[in-house]
Structure 1
Amino acid sequence: MKKGVIIAALIIMLLIFLSKMKKDETNVIGLKFEGPQDYINRLKPIAKELQVKTGIPYLFILAQTALETGYGKSSLVYEAGNFAGIKAKSGQPFVTKMTYEYVKNPNDYPTRDKSKDLYDAKTGKTRIFLPQNFAKYNSLIEGLTAYIKVLLLPRYANAFNYTNDVNKFTDEIWKAGYATDINYPSKIKSLIQTIKTKYGA
């Protein structure tokens, strides 16, 4: 199936799913989750449908978005409909937030908070804290669709050789450059276990 057809099918599926939610839950402003269990309960059905449509393991979707948003508590969710820390492209609406990145040459980032620089001798990289522009979406459906479109980019293609192994899938997404945090895969894997054992996903 062509990628464009997959995206169109995803949009239709998301519309059907969101039509079953309370009307105010489809709006970006005011989108709230009561805690981890509420987040998992509300995102699990859509994550499972996305797995069927795309092959992306539903536990990965739940764990990655939980990590990126603090189980939906991040202001990126209710201010920007951004579930996965997606950076804004040139000309795209955005919100600016402080975030950590791991880089080789911290001096290339003059806007960083230098007091928070932390060098890691093992990797030769420095963790820096700096403002970044994150993509802002007009609705929940737009944000979730954008997230899936990112995972379907060619750079992440190798991960889809491991759709039956969520841990390997996670490793490949990180290797392809989704995040600079050297502990990103282990954080997601830990959340996968928590989501399975504590929240019954």
Structure 2
Amino acid sequence: MAKRKRRKWLKIPRNKKERRRYFIALLALLTLVVAAGVMTPKFIQDRKEARLEDERSKQLKAWAPYAQKIQQQYGIFASISLAQAALESDFGTSELATQAHNLFGVKASSGQPSVTMATKEYENGSWVTVNAAFVSYSSWQASMLAHAQLLKSGTSWNPTQYAHVLAAKNYQDAAKGLVTDGYATDPDYAEKLIQVIDKYHLHRFDLVS
């Protein structure tokens, strides 16, 4: 029976220099094989989510100093300002935030610069999509400032509209106060805010009096 020839690519060179190159090439090939195995759909999705979370954390940190300034001036917890901005604007990436610097979904009154966009409202136990006019701000800082002024001064028909928010001793009570005082139509709004605050540890930005 004829002796089977050894495949050339498996043959280890006798020359020391060529043998070194052989093992380097083999190591590179094994690395590629391992990498290909690691790059599964789940791995790719996990990497994508990790990058998204990193971007969100960076955005919150960029907003934080101004949110703390707002707390000093108006008594609104920095964590509440940050969580509302994140929730309402999808961490600054929503169309309303990018086009009109509106972080809080504040609707426009007559005479205010505005943009009209579709939005979801919770009415009679279900979500409906409606078109509404939203305030167009010159900057995100202007949006955060206007939001704090609204909570501090209330509405034109009720100056104490957000009394529970202002009286809150912690961010949990402030979040619940926003629902009690009628800020949002979403019945789960307070819970969503608290989840954002806890997930990103936003309470670390709250100033202790």
Rounded Cα–Cα distance in structure 1 between residues aligned with 2:147 and 2:55: 21
Contact 2:117 2:132 in 1 (8 A): yes
The structure, 1 or 2, with the larger RCO (C-alpha pairs under 8 Å, 6+ apart) is 1
What does 1:185-196 correspond to in 2, within 5 Å? Answer: 185-196=190-201
Q: Structure 2 CA distance, aligned partners of 1:35 and 1:126?
A: 32
TM-score, structure 1 as length reference: 0.67
Q: Write the mapping of 1:43-192 to structure 2, written as runs, cut at 5 A.
A: 43-104=63-124, 125-152=125-152, 153=154, 154-162=160-168, 164-192=169-197
Query: Cα distance 1:194–1:177, how it changes in 2: closer, same or farther (>3 A)?
Result: same
Alignment RMSD (CA, Å):
2.0
Work out whether 1:42 is the aligned partner of 2:62: yes
Secondary structure at the aligned position of 2:200 is classed as helix
What residue ranges of structure 1 are gaps of 5+ in the alignment?
1-33, 105-124
Larger radius of gyration: 2
Unaligned runs of 5+ in 2: 1-53, 155-159
Q: Deviations over 1:41-78 (max 9, x none)?
A: 10111112222222211111111110001111112122
Q: What is the SS of the residue equivalent to 2:122?
A: strand
Aligned residues: 146
Cα distance between partner residues in 2 of 1:59 and 1:140: 16
In terms of mean alpha carbon deviation, does 182-191 or 139-148 score higher?
Answer: 139-148
Rounded to whole Å, the distance in 1 between the matches of 2:97 and 2:63 is: 13
Q: CA deviation at 1:102?
A: 1.1
1:142 Cα deviation (Å)? 2.6
| Number of the residue aligned with 2:26 | none
Q: Contact 2:172 / 2:194 at 8 angstroms: preserved in 1?
A: yes
Q: Structure 1: which 4+ aligned runs deviate by more than 4 Å?
A: none
Identity %: 29
Mapped partners of 1:200, 1:167: distance in 2: 14
Aligned residues of 1:63 and 1:195 also touching (Cα < 8 A): no
Q: In structure 2, what is the Cα distance between the partners aligned to 1:200 and 1:146? A: 23
Which one-letter code corresponds to 2:64 in the other structure?
K
Judging by fraction of residues, say which structure has more helix.
Answer: 2
Is residue 101–residue 139 contact of structure 2 (8 Å, CA) maintained in 1?
yes
